[in-house]
Chain A
Amino acid sequence: MNGHSLVVLRSGQAMPRARIPQLPLPDFQRAITAGVAAGQRVAALFADAPAADGNVELYAVLADSARARLRVGRTTLDSDHFPSLTPQCPQVHLFEREIAEQYGVRPEGHPWLKPVRFHASYRPGHDAWGRSSGETPLIGATDYYRVEGDEIHEVAVGPVHAGVIEPGHFRFQCHGEHVFHLEISLGYQHRGAERTLAGGPNKRTIHTLETVAGDTSIGHATAYCQALEALAGCQVPIRAEVLRAVALELERLANHTGDLGALAGDVGFLPTAAFCGRLRGDFLNLTALLCGSRFGRGMVRPGGAMFDLDDARREQFLKCLQSAFRDVENAADLLWNSASVQARFEGTGAVSLETCLELGLVGPAARACGLECDVRQDFPWGIYRFAQVPVSTWSTGDVFARAYVRWMEIQRSVAFIREQLQGLPDGPVRADAGVPKPDHLVAVLVEGWRGEICHVALTDAAGKFARYKIVDPSFHNWTGLAIALRDQQISDFPLCNKSFNLSYCGHDL
């Protein structure tokens, strides 16, 4: 019960950096473990090196869903080592690996201390693995976990995959078809997206954010704009809040529909695969009707929205939405009513609620384990403060649950968009964005279609980003996929993978 040692703030509330409590390392770590024990979740844990040769600072952002609060604190490391929290608190495992890789500080006692993205340390001369500063890490070169024994074999897949998808490396430890363990090694998509945000905002910032994960352009742009607006004290017009939420739900509709089709394809059920492939495009076209881009590029901008929806366009929009939804309903019904599909979905790749909580899973993957978590309900922002979207959960944690949660969310997103557009408030769609306040911190949560997107911005004395941290939902959830594969057939991997459908570039940044 040490939560009071961290400062409480709302998602999207800017606070002077001087008010973020500076805790001794043991207190900082105790605050994290106590918060997690009390049901909070680590939304972000990251490092910053304020001076090139100075000490590394760690920041923690805990999400207290029950009270709609964030708890934030920091500590300064006095050496390049610190005791790892992972053995007590598994959900920080990847955050600690990321901190080690980015800033060359080593979490001692970390059970799985491997590179995350295979790049050189941001602090030349400090390396968690003792590599010299001229040495460029070789992608994928790490000590993979191996199971030894007669008849045990290893299957390695990627980085280039069979389909039109992003690259990543997967290693299976198998006995025949039976998977003992799957290790996922990423980093192939590392473009320096997060690193280049420091020193911003500048004219490239929003475009970087829109392509952090290109299928989540609206989600990441929304989180970024909220962060900037909070730092600048900008009030977004209500009409713009509605249009942004409509765009966000369209992004969810397109991706969820595409996922249902791809899941159908992975079990060889071609009717729904074909129908949903087309219908996903219909939702993308709706996004283009709104803003000219199928991926919502240019829609969300600091201060509001770039495009408005006049009455005639709104009528056309609602008509197309209705017809797309009717066809998705028809395509989805086929899935739930086909025994051959259900036989493959049910019981495959199950993740327990306990594991889900330990790993800190988010989004549909967590809701499919029965966890009632949704940023739209837990930390409502914009129009979601006034219009609730019911949280969709299922309890079995398997492929079926992840598919069915998507279908429930499709229905609710359509209902939400209809309701919002029928009562679209009058007024402007954009306000002056203003300039960010110097020496402030803001943490923002947004429910993207994959789950919780967390952005944390720290400004310097000139109001520029001293550090900008991005946590894509995939960062939390990749380990969930690895665990889901345990004791499954290797042939179920594509199905399990698609049921999570995680972002490689969102993870690799």
Chain B
Amino acid sequence: MLPVFLARLKQGHRTLPYPAEAPSLPDRFRGLPVIDATKCPDGCQKCAEACPTSAITTADGKVRLDLGRCLFCVDCLEACPEGAVAYTQDHRLATRTREDLVLDGQTLKLAESLDEKSRRLFGRSLKLRQVSAGGCNACEADLNVLGTVVFDLARFGVQFVASPRHADGIVVTGAVSENMRTALLETYAAVPAPKLVIAVGACAISGGPYIDNPEVHNGCGSLVPVDLYVPGCPPHPLTILDGLLRLLGRLEDRPRS
């Protein structure tokens, strides 16, 4: 037993002081992307042409960015001759509606909390069942990470459970393969109402790199009603945590730094 205690001392306390303190992310981390349209030459389409998922589109000289499709890759950065595209360090990306993910020059409207009744139900205890429906195991891995001592999801009263019958909602990852459609619908049906759906990652929101493949359903939005969208490929664990806490009304009063 002694070696276990000694190891425990050696490994130290590792839980992040989040949300009390702002998280520190590596300088190359790709958070919220911004496009400075004032730098765009007339008629330039280079970022839109380079974008693998058509997350960037241009119309009438305006650039539109759909975070739900964005893979947070560097193809647009490489393609832009003017340096108009950049990633910020802002990890906060989750929204309540699909439309809020589409940026037309406006500030991203982060997720608002659930209504008061739902917050009374879920605010201090939210049990979730995860359904991977064509996910590549990156979103799944970073959902798992939330359970480690670093993020310690349980301290917020949020927990992944083994059965939909024990859950208050589902977390969907993956583009929803045709082969997982029934399993997703049945899992959703097995969760007692009222229930939540959280779509994590570009695949679950839009199909991600698999958009419009006949084998997938371009995410879960057409099959189940989504309450929270967490974009990314995959989203950073903090992005997911931020979204969950906002949904539960536990972060909304913090100003954007």
Contact = CB atoms under 8 A, between A and B. Distances in A.
Given A165-B140, A277-B148, A297 B180 contact: no
Interface string B179-212: 1101100010000000000000001000011100
Interface in A192-218: 192-193, 195-196, 203-204, 206-208, 210-215, 217
A12 interface: no
A285 B26 CA distance: 8
B208 A211 contact: yes
Interface stretch (B8-16, B99-107, B242-250): B8-16
Given A165-B132, A275-B7, A285-B26, A207 B209 contact: yes
Interface stretch (B59-67, B110-118, B213-221): B213-221
A164 interface: yes
A166 B172 CA distance: 11
B29 A192 contact: no
Interface in A145-179: 159-160, 162-167
B11 A330 contact: yes
Contacts of A289: 26, 28
Interface in B109-138: 129-138
A191 B71 contact: no
A94 interface: no
A191 B75 contact: no
B180 A189 contact: yes
A505 interface: yes
B29 A288 contact: yes
B86 interface: no
Given A193-B210, A203-B75, A330-B10, A166 B216 contact: no
Interface of B: 3-4, 7-8, 10-11, 14, 25-26, 28-30, 50-53, 71-75, 87, 129-145, 147-150, 160, 162-164, 174-175, 177-180, 182-183, 187, 203, 208-210, 213-216, 233-234, 236-237
Given A167-B132, A190-B177, A331 B74 contact: no
A211 B136 contact: yes
B71 A505 contact: no
A486 to B, nearest CB: 26
B216 A505 contact: no
Interface of A: 117-119, 136, 139, 159-160, 162-167, 187-193, 195-196, 203-204, 206-208, 210-215, 217, 258, 271, 274-275, 277-278, 280-281, 284-285, 288-295, 297-298, 306-307, 327, 330-331, 333-334, 337, 503-505, 508
A190 B163 contact: no
B138 A295 contact: yes
A167 B52 contact: no
A196 B135 contact: no
A191 B215 contact: yes
B136 A214 contact: yes
A211 B163 contact: no
Which of A187, A188, A288, A508 is the most central at the interface, judged by chain B CB atoms within 10 Å of its CB?
A: A188
Nearest to B211: A204
Chain B residues touching A, majority SS:
mixed
Given A162-B162, A277-B148, A292-B28, A139 B179 contact: yes
Contact of A203 (B29, B50, B177, B203): B50
Contacts of B215: 119, 190-192, 195
Contacts of A118: 179
Contacts of A306: 74
24 contacts: A118-B179, A119-B179, A119-B215, A162-B162, A164-B130, A164-B143, A187-B179, A189-B134, A189-B180, A190-B178, A191-B215, A204-B209, A211-B136, A213-B136, A215-B137, A274-B149, A278-B11, A278-B150, A298-B74, A327-B11, A330-B11, A331-B11, A333-B3, A334-B3
Given A191-B175, A281-B150, A292 B214 contact: no
Given A159-B183, A215-B137, A189 B174 contact: yes
Nearest to B135: A166
A195 B215 CA distance: 10
Given A214-B135, A285-B26, A292-B30, A166 B74 contact: no
B131 A505 contact: no
A417 B231 CA distance: 32
Contacts, number: 191
Contacts of B29: 288, 292
Given A166-B132, A203-B75, A297-B71, A190 B179 contact: yes
Contact of A294 (B52, B133, B142): B142
Contacts of A281: 145, 148, 150, 237
Contacts of A293: 30, 72
A275 B141 contact: no
Contacts of A203: 50-52, 75
B173 to A, nearest CB: 9
Contacts of B87: 292
A501 to B, nearest CB: 10
Given A165-B132, A196-B210, 13 more contacts: A139-B182, A160-B131, A163-B162, A188-B177, A203-B52, A206-B52, A208-B210, A210-B209, A211-B208, A274-B148, A292-B28, A293-B30, A298-B74
B149 A278 contact: yes
B4 A334 contact: yes
A159 B182 CA distance: 10
Nearest to A505: B136
Contacts of A295: 138, 141, 234
A210 B137 CA distance: 11
B82 to A, nearest CB: 20
A211 B163 CA distance: 27
A207 B6 CA distance: 44
Contacts of A192: 210, 213-216
Contacts of B11: 275, 278, 327, 330-331
A81 B55 CA distance: 45
Contact of B213 (A166, A196, A278, A288): A196
B71 A213 contact: no
Contacts of B182: 139
Contacts of B233: 211, 297
A12 to B, nearest CB: 25
Contacts of B72: 293, 297
Nearest to B213: A192
B180 A167 contact: yes
A207 to B, nearest CB: 4
A322 B203 CA distance: 35
A278 B87 CA distance: 27
B171 to A, nearest CB: 8
Given A297-B233, A503-B137, A278 B14 contact: yes
